[in-house]
């Protein structure tokens, strides 16, 4: 399996640019410190990722 590093690097850069340290701290506290957060709330994250928040998810036809 090949990893598309171009898109991962671009997404990482977008998240770093839009991070919010206060929100990240609050989110981490809510999850009892188990996870790292950028502090980007859903509306901005979805706008940043494009495609209406769907990202690059492929839709699988199960029929």
Which is nearest to 23 in space by CA: 7, 33, 37?
Answer: 37
Q: Residue 57 has what pLDDT?
A: 45
Of the chain, the percentage scoring pLDDT greater than 70 comes to: 78
Task: Name the residue with higher pLDDT: 11 or 56.
Answer: 11
DSSP assignment of 41-56 equals: -HHHHHHHH-GGGTTT
Q: Residue 24 has what pLDDT?
A: 97
Alpha-carbon distance of 27 to 18, in angstroms, equals 15
Which is nearest to 39 in space by CA: 17, 18, 24?
Answer: 24
| Whole-model pTM over 0.75 | no
Alpha-carbon distance of 61 to 47, in angstroms, equals 26
Residue reference for tokens 């850069």: 13
**For the segment 25-44, what is each residue's pLDDT rounded down to a tens digit?**
999 999 999 999 999 999 99
């Amino acid at each position: 399996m090949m990893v598309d590093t171009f898109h991962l690097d671009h997404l990482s850069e977008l998240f770093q640019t839009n991070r919010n340290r206060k929100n990240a701290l609050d989110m981490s506290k809510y999850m009892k410190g188990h996870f790292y957060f950028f502090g980007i709330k859903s509306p901005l994250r979805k706008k940043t990722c494009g495609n209406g928040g769907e990202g690059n998810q492929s839709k699988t036809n199960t029929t």
